[in-house]
């Protein structure tokens, strides 16, 4: 195992959002670090090109000989990198918005006399009737259950919530 | 689209049965640590932040793999080997990549497994949808 592979996850995380030059097998690869895989120590480098394209090079952890940091990225670069691989149309909600959506769903469930409990470290998951869970952002597609009938009933219920802002 | 060649079989390994992917072979064990150990003195708070870093990094890497599926990927391997293929998937330990239409000097392999320890780097392009 080389020196790079022996680093700890917190050290690898320190390279994210930095522009680096990686030397591997006598070649040099330059780019913005999107991530370092903690399992294989592979470094994923991104280079943004003109014309709305991005070129990705991933250097395998076992091949890394040296990593030199060229410069730090700012928050806009961090956002660009993150949004690069997020599924198209993914919407991110602020903590406030998530709280509002959760409360809106809670009120709607109470109104419809549906029993539920709140689970999770920050009480972010709703467990409906002990058989269905709803995770943030509490849309119909965020329901999970092994019972098809209950799943479709709760999904249409959430869909028909008049209190929730209809987005997309 | 080039006509695929028939399936090539690697010669048998030294143990006489496997063809290079046997997870219980000495070579495999030496190349791939089977467990990821946590850092030395295990302090609760440090462990938590280390785990948080691990999941942050791993999630991003998995998303980059998802983005690679069905795309043309160039693999740069040892012994000056550079091949193109369509990425299909990876195993959990990032030890083998499944690819399709692997272009080799001998022809196009319809389906193939690439051993990650043989790879130096891989590259592909995506739209940056900005």
A64 inside 8 A of chain B by CB: no
DSSP annotation of A56 reads: E
Adjacency order of strands within the sheet including A143-145 = A116-119, A125-128, A132-134, A143-145
Contact B122 A36 (CB under 8 A): no
| Strand partners for A19 | A32, A71
> What end-to-end distance do the CA atoms of chain A give, in Å?
49
Structure tokens at B88: 């299909």
pLDDT in tens, chain A (168 residues): 789 998 999 999 999 999 999 999 999 999 999 999 999 999 999 999 988 899 999 999 999 999 999 999 998 999 889 888 876 555 667 778 888 889 999 999 999 999 999 988 788 889 998 899 998 888 888 899 999 999 999 999 998 988 755 444
Nearest CB among B94, B123, B125 relative to A37 is that of B94
Q: Measured between alpha carbons, how far is A44 from A57 in angstroms, rounded to an integer?
A: 6
Which whole-number Å values give the CA distances from B41 to A7, A14, A153, B37, in the listed order?
Answer: 15, 20, 50, 12
Beta strands in A25-138 (DSSP E): 27-36, 43-49, 53-59, 64-72, 116-119, 125-128, 132-134
The ipTM is 0.78
> What residues in B contact A10, CB-CB < 8 Å?
49-50, 53
């Amino acid at each position: 195992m080389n020196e790079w592979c022996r680093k700890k996850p917190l050290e690898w995380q320190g390279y994210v959002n930095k522009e680096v030059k990686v030397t591997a097998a006598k070649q040099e690869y330059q780019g913005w670090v999107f991530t370092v895989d903690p399992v294989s120590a592979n470094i994923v480098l991104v280079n943004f090109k003109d014309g709305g394209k991005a070129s990705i090079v991933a250097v395998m952890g076992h091949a890394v000989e040296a990593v030199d940091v060229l410069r730090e990225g700012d928050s806009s670069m961090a956002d660009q990198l993150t949004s690069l691989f997020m599924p198209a149309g993914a919407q991110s909600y602020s903590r406030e918005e998530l709280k509002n959506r959760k409360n809106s769903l809670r009120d709607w469930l109470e109104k419809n006399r549906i029993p539920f409990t709140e689970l999770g470290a920050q009480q972010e998951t709703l467990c409906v009737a002990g058989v269905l869970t709803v995770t943030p952002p509490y849309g119909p597609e965020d329901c999970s259950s092994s019972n098809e009938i209950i799943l479709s009933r709760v999904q249409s219920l959430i869909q028909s919530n008049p209190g929730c802002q209809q987005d997309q | 689209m080039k006509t695929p060649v028939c399936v090539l079989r690697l010669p048998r390994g030294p143990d006489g049965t496997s063809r290079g992917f046997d997870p219980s072979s000495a070579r495999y064990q030496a190349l791939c640590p089977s467990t990821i150990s946590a850092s030395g003195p295990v302090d609760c708070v440090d462990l938590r932040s280390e785990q948080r870093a691990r999941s942050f990094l791993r999630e991003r890497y998995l998303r980059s793999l998802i983005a690679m599926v069905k795309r043309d990927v160039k693999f740069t391997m040892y012994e000056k080997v550079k091949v193109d293929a369509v990425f299909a998937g990876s195993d959990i330990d990032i030890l083998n990549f499944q690819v399709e239409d692997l272009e080799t000097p001998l022809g196009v392999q319809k389906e193939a497994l690439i051993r990650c320890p043989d790879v130096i780097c891989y590259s592909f392009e995506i739209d940056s949808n900005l």
